[in-house]
Amino acid sequence: MFLVNLSEAIVDITAAFRDRYFWTALGWQDIRTRYRRSALGPLWITISTAVTVAAMGPLYGALFARSPGEFIPHLALGLIFWAFMSGSINEFCDAFSGSTHYLKQVKLPLTIFVLRVIYRQFIILGHNILIYPVVMVLLGKSVNLNIFWAIPGLLLVSVNLLWIGLVVAIFCTRYRDMHPVVGSVMSLMFFITPIVWQVDQLPPGRAHLADLNPLTILLELMRQPILGGVPAPMYWAVAAIAAVAGSVFAVALLARFRHRVAYWL
């Protein structure tokens, strides 16, 4: 019986990837709906992030006594990629319950609704990243060839988000208290992840503590290549192992509970 469920869970995921048109259409529609009646449309995403960077950059740069050329790129990319990860994780909570009227009527792969969230956040990331070239010009920064490492970095982060998404969405559908819990955890994580602060500000004996936070690793896989560095091999290894182990767990969870999700809605 478990084997049948397992193969159905794998079909759920492969079918979702085969029917890409489904979640890309839904993801775009979500963005269109969100900004339909605003004059600037999705540019609001860009503007609000730009304002945050412009306000926090000089302030925290001065507080931490860092030069703007070093600190602001770190902060801007940190905020942009953090928005991608935390936005996804927060919205995974509603991935199924927000689509109740679909899921109660048609049988669809559940993975579609997780991918829809990631895709939606990916579009937002695309709008936010437009800020960075402006930051570069203003501060006279440049990028080097290491920027191409950002592509496998983003890919690895997305794979991790997919399994996190399946797990979070299933849990939040069954236990409705999980949604505020996830929200609180993510706002706490904002402070203990080096988004605003930098790891080298920690006393040397404690710098390794930052690496215990998996979100630090995922963030650096996307940020460091754009800042001109190459993420440490240890980061790649940890993220890859997390992707494999997490996917195994998510598939097992999906196999066990996929049939029950409709009952919980």
Which residues in this chain contact other proteins in the complex, by CB under 8 A? 21-22, 25-26, 29, 32-33, 36-37, 101-108, 259, 262-264
What is the smallest separation between the CB atom of 102 and other proteins, expressed in angstroms? Answer: 6
Cα 233 to Cα 224: distance, rounded to the nearest angstrom: 13
Residue in 70, 77, 88, 65 with CA at minimum distance from that of residue 194: 77
Tell me the CA distances in angstroms from 163 to 170, 221, 247, one per residue in order.
11, 18, 5
- Rounded Cα–Cα distance for residues 259 and 78 (Å): 38
User: What's the Cα-to-Cα distance from 72 to each of 52, 60, 86, 136, 192, rounded to whole Å?
Assistant: 11, 9, 20, 10, 19
Residue 26 C-beta: closest distance to other proteins, Å: 7
Is the Cβ of residue 223 or residue 258 nearer to other proteins in the bound state? 258
Which one, 173 or 216, has the nearer CB to other proteins?
Answer: 173
3-state helix, strand, coil in the chain (%, to 5): 80, 0, 20
State which residue, 208 or 259, has the beta carbon closest to other proteins. Answer: 259
Let me know: does 112 contact 64? Beta carbons within 8 Å: no
Q: Closest distance between other proteins and the C-beta of residue 130, in Å?
A: 25
Nearer to other proteins, 32 or 208 (CB): 32
Site of tokens 């399946």: 166
Closest separation in Å from C-beta 260 to other proteins: 8
Q: In angstroms, give the least distance from the CB of 44 to other proteins.
A: 16
**Residue whose CB is less far from other proteins, 34 or 141:** 34
